[in-house]
Amino acid sequence: MTRYVVARVSDIAPGERKIVELEGRSVGILNVDGEYVALVNRCPHAGAPLCESGTVFGLSNAEQPDGPISYERARSLRCPWHAWEFDLRTGVSFYDPRNTRVRSYPVEVVAAPEQVVEPDHGRREGPLVLEGYDVTVEGDLLVVDTSRRRPGRSTSPVRPADEPGELTAVITTKQTAADGVVVIELERSDGAPLPVWSPGAHVDVILAEDLVRQYSLSGNPADRGTWRIGVLRELQGRGGSAHVHDTLQIGDKIRCRGPRNNFPLVEAKEYVFVAGGIGITPILPMIAQCEATGRPWRLVYGGRFRRSMAFLDELEPYGARVAVRPQDEFGLLDLAVTLGESRDGVAVYCCGPGPLIDAVEQHCASWPEGTLHVERFRAAEGALNGAKTAFDVVCDRSDTVVRVAEGQSVVEALAAAGIHVPTSCGEGTCGTCETVVLAGVPDHRDSFLSPQERASNEVMTPCCSRSHSPQLVLDL
Ligand code: FES
């Protein structure tokens, strides 16, 4: 038995946590009303520091009536990055409709120096596993036994796979905000508070069974009564924006899922926001948060014409920190001027048309890893191209092998075999279908995963991605 004294009981009050380092691994020791939990400080979704969060150290109580989702009575831990929540008793993710498999590994402790780890909010890449250890109370001591692992896999879904946090909302306002842009406000149809969200979050709006679109929340996160979205009419679109513009009216009820945040505001010394057109929507609440917390920021906002750029009136009070650059007046954005030289401590956020994001990515290619954060509304140019040869998918949890035929998507093949993978965008931009890869080499065709995530081959988006290897083993 490997035992490691990590703290005294009196060190960690109920609801508090302590971060220690065991063999170079950051581990959170949490006091959940006298029950102690030790989890490796890494979210299985994207490797973020799971045990560190804001005011309550990532502990939230899902029983709260105005909680973001209602599920079984449980204490949960919320990742501060993408707001994935995990049942502390089982390690099962509430937010992952595929019920992320929780894996654990044995750890041999060869030295036992207790060491408090300073919170590190940098995103860490790593294995997509949530690991944990047993904690026992011996007198006044908390003891982590690293040889006794927590459960190896989830056994039952926490909530139905096709209903991740769905609610019905009613449209309360609909206004034209610029040429081709309508702004819609939504309230819950039952009058209850809306789920919490943070700047950068989006909601899935279910316009019809086969018409689901993602729209960034652009209002005030503190307003639990109203969500605000902006929708650009896409002339070459697939019908979603036209439906919003032409069909939806005040008083209509629509189903929404989420919110989810794939574009969270990270800690930084300074922020540079680059928005193109409707890409301004997720940036607005980010700017408000920077203002509220006194962090330096500036925004360059481009668009085809001034009249096509929404929310200019909201940005006007910010004065010189906002550079409005309609293309017909200023030409293309000068990124050398906009972004400046590579430097530490800056976070660059870009949202807008694909060519703008491509150009910013190119400009920042040699900047420190993790500097640039982008969110695409459509697949990157050419991302979905390539051969569509057949391969096999082994569904590890279902113990099923499914042949993905030439030209068929993984999601389609799995659906035909009765294995449902939730999807939304269907083209690799939203992350709804993100799935853990246990073996094989995915052929990534998404526009969602980070370069590091793609290189790790630990996750993939089966709505559009395929396989380089004859067989892929997925955590399904
Ligand atoms: S459904 Fe959006 S990434 Fe796959």
CATH annotation of 3-149: 2.102.10.10
Is 286 touching ligand 1 by the criterion CB < 6 Å? no
Element (H, E) at 6: strand 3-8
- 88, 224, 393 from 66: Cα distances, Å: 20, 9, 40
Q: Which is more confident, 16 or 256?
A: 256
User: Which of 376, 414, 424, when mutated, tests ligand 1's pocket best, judged by the most ligand atoms within 8 Å of its CB?
Assistant: 424
Asked if the domains 3-149 and 166-260 are classified in one and the same CATH topology, the answer is no
What percent of the chain has pLDDT above 90? 43
Atom of ligand 1 nearest to the CA of 426: 1
Q: Which is more confident, 416 or 85?
A: 416
Is 425 touching ligand 1 by the criterion CB < 6 Å? yes
Is 432 touching ligand 1 by the criterion CB < 6 Å? yes
> Distance (Å, rounded) from C-alpha 87 to C-alpha 102?
11
In sequence order, which residues have a C-beta less than 8 Å from that of residue 34 and are 6 or more positions away? 14
Atom of ligand 1 nearest to the CA of 428: 3
Element (H, E) at 287: helix 280-293
> Distance (Å, rounded) from C-alpha 438 to C-alpha 431?
18
Domain covering 270-376 assigned CATH 3.40.1370.10 in the classification? no
Is 463 touching ligand 1 by the criterion CB < 6 Å? yes
CA dihedral 379, 195, 173, 222 (to 10 degrees): -100
Tens of pLDDT, residue by residue over 375-410, are 998 888 888 999 999 999 999 877 889 999 999 999
Poorest-confidence range of 28-32, 181-185, 257-261, 454-458?
Answer: 28-32
Tens of pLDDT, residue by residue over 222-237, are 898 999 999 999 887 7
Domain boundaries, the chain: 3-149, 166-260, 270-376, 391-474
Poorest-confidence range of 138-142, 206-210, 407-411?
Answer: 138-142
pLDDT over 80 at 206, yes or no:
yes
Poorest-confidence range of 84-98, 116-130, 425-439?
Answer: 116-130
Phi and psi torsions of 127, nearest 5°: -60, 145
What is the reported pTM?
0.67
| Nearest alpha carbon to residue 44 among 461, 472, 458, 423 | 458
Between the CA of 434 and the centroid of ligand 1 the distance, in Å, is 7
| Nearest alpha carbon to residue 100 among 152, 50, 57, 52 | 152
CA dihedral 40, 42, 44, 50 (to 10 degrees): 100
Matching CATH number, 391-474, of 3.40.50.2030, 3.10.20.30, 1.10.10.60, 1.10.1060.10: 3.10.20.30
Is 461 touching ligand 1 by the criterion CB < 6 Å? yes
User: Which of 96, 214, 464, 474, when mutated, tests ligand 1's pocket best, judged by the most ligand atoms within 8 Å of its CB?
Assistant: 464
Supply the residue whose CA is at minimum distance from atom 3 of ligand 1. Answer: 428
Count of CB atoms situated within 10 Å of the CB of 95:
22
DSSP state of 450: -
CATH annotation of 166-260: 2.40.30.10
> Distance (Å, rounded) from C-alpha 21 to C-alpha 6?
9
> Distance (Å, rounded) from C-alpha 414 to C-alpha 460?
15
